[in-house]
């Protein structure tokens, strides 16, 4: 009887760990802070790489992103999905 209880407990722990991994994989990365939307412009100046995003409500937001993430955020792509870290 004790062996069955131990096997069930181990099975439950394995199922819990598998569910946690599956959920974290399916959800994807955490979204960046701020509104999401379509990239309108990309500029590079002395202060860094900037993208301007038009959100669903029509407002424009400017973000500074690092060079590694900047490469995939071209005009027409969706922010923050275009970021690559």
Confidence of residue 1 (pLDDT cuts 50, 70, 90): low
Measure the CA–CA gap between 35 and 7, rounded to whole angstroms: 48
Return the closest-CA partner of residue 78 out of 45, 31, 26, 43: 31
**pLDDT at residue 78, rounded to an integer:** 82
Return the closest-CA partner of residue 40 out of 82, 8, 1, 4: 82
Q: 37-79 domain in CATH 2.40.50? A: yes
Per-residue model confidence as pLDDT tens digits over 17-41? 887 776 666 655 555 556 777 888 8
Per-residue model confidence as pLDDT tens digits over 41-55? 888 877 778 888 888
């Amino acid at each position: 009887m004790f062996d069955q209880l131990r096997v069930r407990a181990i099975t439950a722990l394995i199922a819990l760990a598998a569910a946690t991994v599956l959920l974290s994989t399916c959800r994807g990365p955490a979204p960046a802070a701020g509104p999401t939307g379509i990239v309108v412009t990309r500029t590079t100046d002395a202060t860094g790489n900037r993208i301007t995003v038009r959100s669903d409500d029509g407002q424009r937001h400017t973000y500074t992103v690092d060079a590694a993430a900047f490469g995939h955020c071209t005009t027409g792509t969706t922010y923050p999905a275009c970021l690559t870290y």
